[in-house]
Amino acid sequence: MNSALENLFAAVGTIRDTASTVIPNTAKWVSDEAAKKWKKIEKFQGHLDKDGNGYLIQSAHEAAELLDATRQLKEFPGTQMIHTLEKSLFTQLFSEFDSFTGTLLAAIYTSKSDLLKSISREVSFADLLQFENLDAVKLNMLEKEIETFRRDSYVEQFASLEKKFGLKLREFREWGEFVELSQRRNLLTHCGGKVSEQYLLICEREGCRFEKRPVLGEVLRVDAKYFYRATRLIMKVGFMLTHTLWRKLFPNEVELQSRAMSDAIYSVLQQKRWRLAAELAEFSLTDAMRKNVQEIHLRVRVVNAAIALKFSDRNEEALRLLDSMDWSASYRDFKLAIAVMNDDFDGAADIMRQIGKNGELVNELNYHEWPLFHKFRESEQFQGAYKDIYDISFSSKVVEDSQAAKPVIEDVKIRRKPRAKVVAGPTEITDERSAKVKIGKPAPRRPIARPHEKPG
């Protein structure tokens, strides 16, 4: 089950990173290209007719040039290219979510064989004879069950899961917003983004609260703020669905489920995605998710939740969360965390020295990686304590670690080199409109060498 969630997080993260890289670069290209096309027209502005109403064309060549430049500018897709990218990436989010739900259900059914008995489908005797064994029949039945499930709307899917597993899965505050995302996906895919009565009916029925209610026929788009909110919400819904079903259906796996939940939050913290981490951590601290969790693991979860709140500009909430627990009898590692969260860097440095090289939870690697020390690492207090403990400056250790990673980096560089080169010969220009280019034969292939090998 956890692998389904990990794949969803990785896929959505890739889509988000693609959007943050490709869309701004495309927008810049669109702006630059539009400016180039306008310059071709702009040069005629100095030659207006005597009334100043139009361009004074001196020759048929200029007329053709102006006509061509005007046509190019009119036909230039411009911002439509941005809208196409936004639409494509947004709809891809739901393709990944559909893949996630299918993988999640497959994991559940294969882990609980009794659930397979609940699948009711008719199979002809002729079709049955085509299967090699009973396991092949089960797999085919399961694939068809998941395929049918995916064809339903998300409202129907969640209702079906609630009925099948005896759970309430739609009682979270973003449910209406999640439904609106899926309905907008439908509009963009099938209606050119135009608002329909069905869209408004379903969204309002499921509790969506519009900041400004769209009107029939209005064209909805996906701007940056909406898109990035969608990525966070889809990941959160996947996270909540996975862990709710995991807790319900596999009660003997509480420790495994709890560790997977904490690892997911920690990973998001390492990426400095504070808002998402705060939302996931909030769910992790609900009564249902805290039940039967070991005290030490719960305290780590609380600290990580506070980190997410602090760095998403919710510092008062972070401190209130920490104050909700008694830390007086806790490990010094937790007292270190409390000091850091309260920006008591002098006290935190003293506790570091008391802990030494290895505490109950904290060690040298944690000082490098745990997001708790995100800002503390930059302080003189941390730098001094670290050197006292490990007999090496923090900066020197970072450099040392980076040098250790150099062979890996070099290996990646080598792997990315082209296997063959096309060598161009001299270019002979005959006139302004044509050029003859002599292309040499491709260079012979050479084997790719690893950093520790020599080419053969």
Which pTM does this prediction carry? 0.78
Q: Kindly indicate the confidence band of residue 111, based on its pLDDT and cuts at 50, 70 and 90.
A: confident
* For residue 151, pLDDT beyond 50: yes
At 11, which amino acid appears? A
Q: Kindly indicate the confidence band of residue 120, based on its pLDDT and cuts at 50, 70 and 90.
A: low
* For residue 453, pLDDT beyond 50: no
Nearest to 276 by CA among 287, 284, 265, 263: 265
* For residue 229, pLDDT beyond 80: yes
- What is the rounded average pLDDT of the residues 118-132? 60
Query: What six digits make up the tokens of 257?
Result: 């489920």
Which pLDDT value is given to residue 125?
Answer: 55
- Percentage of the chain beyond pLDDT 90 is 52
Q: Judge residue 350's burial from the number of C-beta atoms within 10 Å of its C-beta, 0-12 exposed, 13-18 middle, 19 or more buried.
A: middle
159/350 Cα distance (integer angstroms) = 54
Residues 387-441: tens digit of each pLDDT = 999 998 888 888 877 676 555 555 555 555 444 433 333 333 233 333 333 333 3
Determine which helix (DSSP H) or strand (DSSP E) holds 281, and give its type and residue range: helix 274-284
Least confident of 57-61, 100-104, 122-126, 136-140: 122-126
- What is the rounded average pLDDT of the residues 305-328? 93
What sign results for the dihedral spanned by CA atoms 354, 360, 366, 371?
negative
Query: What six digits make up the tokens of 177?
Result: 């917003």
What sign results for the dihedral spanned by CA atoms 125, 130, 133, 138?
negative
Which pLDDT value is given to residue 58?
Answer: 65
- What is the rounded average pLDDT of the residues 379-386? 93
Contact of 349 with 381, CB cutoff 8 Å = yes
- What is the rounded average pLDDT of the residues 127-147? 67
SS3 448: coil
Which pLDDT value is given to residue 226?
Answer: 93
9-11-17 Cα angle (round to 5): 95
Query: What six digits make up the tokens of 109?
Result: 């059914």
SS3 191: coil
Which pLDDT value is given to residue 23?
Answer: 86
Residues 247-275: tens digit of each pLDDT = 999 999 999 999 999 999 999 999 999 99
305/318 Cα distance (integer angstroms) = 8
Residue 44 neighbours by CB distance under 10 Å? 18
Determine which helix (DSSP H) or strand (DSSP E) holds 174, and give its type and residue range: none
* For residue 147, pLDDT beyond 90: no
Q: Which residues pair with 400 in a beta bridge?
A: none
- What is the rounded average pLDDT of the residues 28-56? 69
162/156 Cα distance (integer angstroms) = 10
Least confident of 58-72, 142-156, 251-265, 307-321: 58-72
88/19 Cα distance (integer angstroms) = 10
Residues 9-27: tens digit of each pLDDT = 999 999 999 999 988 888 8
232-238-241 Cα angle (round to 5): 135
115/107 Cα distance (integer angstroms) = 11
Contact of 153 with 201, CB cutoff 8 Å = no
* For residue 230, pLDDT beyond 60: yes
Query: What six digits make up the tokens of 263?
Result: 């690892």
Which pLDDT value is given to residue 140?
Answer: 65
Round the average pLDDT of the chain to a whole number and report it: 81
SS3 318: helix
* For residue 452, pLDDT beyond 60: no
Least confident of 60-69, 94-103, 171-180, 228-237: 60-69
Query: Which has more confidence, 408 or 368?
Result: 368
Residues 292-307: tens digit of each pLDDT = 999 999 999 999 999 9
314 phi/psi in degrees, rounded to 5: -130, 50
Query: Which has more confidence, 113 or 161?
Result: 161
Query: What six digits make up the tokens of 37?
Result: 């096309």
Residues 171-207: tens digit of each pLDDT = 999 999 999 999 999 999 998 899 999 999 999 999 9
Nearest to 97 by CA among 41, 149, 171: 149
209 phi/psi in degrees, rounded to 5: -110, 110
Q: Name every residue whose Cβ is closer than 8 Å to that of residue 358 and which is 6 or more positions away in sequence.
A: 364
* For residue 133, pLDDT beyond 90: no
According to DSSP, the β-strands at 422-431 and 434-442 are antiparallel
Please tell me the chain's helix, strand, coil percentages from 3-state DSSP, rounded to the nearest 5. 65, 5, 25
Q: Kindly indicate the confidence band of residue 127, based on its pLDDT and cuts at 50, 70 and 90.
A: low
